[in-house]
């Protein structure tokens, strides 16, 4: 098989975002939970692109040093001309957690390239990059904000964005010389943009942030990536799903792709869904409110109990029992670990872990990761007892941990739901998982009626 692209998502929600873009563009794509073996690729059938869903967004730099080199080596060995390290469209990360800069450092050992393109914007998601600065729409007020003034991302509980200049943001995470290719160069045409990129690389740039404000900019970025990859493959690229948009748009403009398929628009209604949310964003709180208004049974998760080494098993059994009772009454259920950024359960959970002798930032990190694993066990137990047809997961880190616990073999796109969060179908040899429809979304994705839309389906475009 001849692959056009391989990618690694630094969390599971971001991985399905990239999967969505490629599938909707008409590329045969499968998302695996580990670098696929030759046998797994053979089983998946002819593919144009391969993804690996990871969780480096929740890792420390030391954990990245162990986890990422074998993944990067495996992706480089697949033979795809471009390998993409997929990050969130808001680039939220820090020197201590989910360091994109550290990932770029590590990749230089596997790909041995002097200059790494960093795609800054994803206009289709209303994420824009201008002169290296990132801007993003907030679903809470439908306005575009500079990322360090964004009402959700500036207050992210783990990796708040305090800098909009991606050169400075990433440069604070690793000793890299990062330059910018501004959008006027893209407007000036391909020769001008390519010459600028070559000049920046020749002058010692370890990475170059590529602006994008418009669809035309995105297409030109795709052209630049393809031309760079042709010189010395594989090309290692960093960025959000703007990378997949850029490549697919250029491949279509250059007639390497046919018209996109139209069979992803409709999806059926189901009577019950199970939703698990550990996102603390304001939008997530609004979505929970709307779900309850629409008839979902809500169950508040006692995060402190689930994190307590002496109580977590009994808390898990109680949570599973409460959920099954509601499901067997015919109700859709939403479990939530936070209802907005001011929910006291967030601070209580961090304090409980901190009391074990950890520093506050380490406690915040460990609390989120362990809570995700315990919620994975909760979800697994529910699915083994009740044949739920659709599972909705909210919160990037939590979704990653839950899906890792469930451990399906692969994910395939089933339908459009909301940009950046498609409806997927699991492939697994576990009867309780095979064919299960699942959505993984970040806390800032979707509108307020996301959960009800996911339940009732869409019969027309």
User: Residue 136: what pLDDT?
Assistant: 96
Decide: residue 151, CB within 10 A, 0-12 exposed, 13-18 middle, 19+ buried.
middle
Residue 180, beta-bridge partner list:
209
User: Residue 139: what pLDDT?
Assistant: 78
Whats the size of the chain, residue-wise? Answer: 461
User: Residue 460: what pLDDT?
Assistant: 63
What secondary structure does DSSP assign to 337-402, as a single string? S-SSTT-HHHHHHHHHHHTTT--HHHHHHHHHHHHHHHHHHHHHHHHHHS--SEEEEESHHHHHHH
| Residue 230, SS3 per DSSP | helix
User: Residue 6: what pLDDT?
Assistant: 97
* pLDDT tens column, 239-274: 999 999 999 999 999 999 987 776 788 899 999 999
Q: In the chain, which stretches have pLDDT less than 50? A: none
Strand ranges inside 198-320, DSSP E: 207-210, 235-239, 274-277, 297-300
Q: How far apart are CA 90 and CA 128, in angstroms?
A: 10
Would residue 65 be called left, alpha or beta, if left means φ above 0 and alpha means ψ between -120 and 50 degrees? alpha
User: Residue 185: what pLDDT?
Assistant: 97
* pLDDT tens column, 7-48: 999 988 889 889 999 999 999 999 999 999 888 888 787 899
User: Residue 443: what pLDDT?
Assistant: 85
Q: How far apart are CA 430 and CA 40, in angstroms?
A: 16
Residue 68 CB neighbours (<10 A): 23
DSSP 434: T
| Residue 125, SS3 per DSSP | helix
Residue in 138, 294, 140, 125 with CA at minimum distance from that of residue 218: 125
Q: How far apart are CA 371 and CA 353, in angstroms?
A: 11
Would residue 60 be called left, alpha or beta, if left means φ above 0 and alpha means ψ between -120 and 50 degrees? beta
Residue 117, beta-bridge partner list:
208
- Tokens 């991985």 belong to 15
Decide: residue 438, CB within 10 A, 0-12 exposed, 13-18 middle, 19+ buried.
buried
Q: What angle do CA 116, 125, 453 make, to 5 degrees?
A: 140
Helix-helix angle 360-385:344-354, to 10 degrees: 110
End-to-end CA distance of the chain: 33
Helix-helix angle 242-253:12-24, to 10 degrees: 10
User: Residue 1: what pLDDT?
Assistant: 61
User: What predicted TM-score, i.e. pTM, was given to this entire model?
Assistant: 0.82
Q: What's 283-313 look like in SS3?
A: HHHHHHHHHHHCCCEEEECCHHHHHCCCCHH
User: Residue 157: what pLDDT?
Assistant: 78
């Amino acid at each position: 098989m001849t692959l056009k692209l391989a990618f690694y998502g630094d969390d599971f929600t971001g991985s399905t975002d990239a999967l969505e873009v490629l599938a909707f563009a008409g590329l045969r794509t499968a998302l695996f939970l580990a670098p696929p073996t030759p046998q797994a690729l053979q089983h998946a059938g002819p593919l144009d692109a391969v993804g690996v869903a990871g969780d480096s967004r929740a890792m420390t730099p030391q954990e990245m040093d162990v986890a990422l080199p074998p993944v990067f080596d495996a992706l480089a060995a697949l033979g795809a001309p471009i390998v993409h390290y997929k990050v969130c469209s808001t680039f939220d990360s820090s020197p201590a957690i989910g360091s994109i800069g550290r990932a770029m450092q590590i990749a230089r050992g596997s790909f041995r390239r002097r200059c790494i393109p960093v795609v800054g914007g994803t206009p289709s998601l209303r994420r824009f990059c201008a002169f290296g600065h990132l801007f993003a729409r907030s679903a809470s007020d439908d306005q575009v904000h500079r990322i360090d003034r964004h009402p959700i991302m500036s207050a992210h509980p783990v990796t708040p964005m305090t800098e909009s200049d991606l050169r400075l943001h990433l440069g604070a995470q690793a000793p890299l010389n990062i330059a910018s290719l501004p959008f006027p160069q893209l407007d000036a045409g391909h020769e001008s943009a390519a010459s600028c990129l070559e000049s920046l690389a020749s002058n010692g740039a370890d990475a170059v942030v590529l602006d994008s404000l418009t669809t035309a900019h995105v297409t030109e970025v795709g052209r630049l990536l393809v031309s760079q990859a042709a010189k010395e493959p594989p090309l290692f690229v960093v960025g959000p799903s703007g990378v997949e948009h850029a490549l697919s748009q250029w491949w279509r403009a250059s007639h390497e792709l046919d018209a996109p398929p139209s069979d992803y628009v409709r999806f059926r209604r189901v009577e019950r869904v199970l939703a698990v949310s550990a996102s603390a964003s304001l939008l997530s709180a609004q979505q929970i409110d709307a779900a309850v208004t629409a008839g979902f049974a809500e169950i508040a998760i006692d995060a402190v109990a689930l994190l307590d080494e002496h109580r977590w098993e009994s808390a898990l059994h109680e949570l599973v029992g409460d959920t099954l009772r509601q499901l067997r009454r015919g109700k859709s259920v939403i479990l939530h670990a936070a209802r907005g950024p001011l929910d006291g359960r967030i601070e209580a959970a961090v304090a409980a872990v901190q009391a074990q002798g950890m520093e506050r930032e380490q406690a915040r990190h460990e609390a989120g990761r362990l809570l995700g694993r315990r919620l994975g066990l909760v979800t697994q137990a529910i699915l083994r007892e009740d044949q739920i047809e659709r599972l909705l997961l909210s919160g990037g880190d939590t979704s990653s941990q839950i899906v890792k616990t469930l451990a399906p073999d692969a994910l395939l796109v089933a339908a459009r739901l909301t940009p950046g969060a498609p409806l997927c179908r699991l492939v697994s040899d576990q009867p309780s998982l095979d064919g299960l429809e699942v959505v993984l979304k970040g806390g800032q994705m979707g509108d307020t009626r996301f959960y009800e839309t996911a339940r009732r389906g869409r019969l027309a475009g």
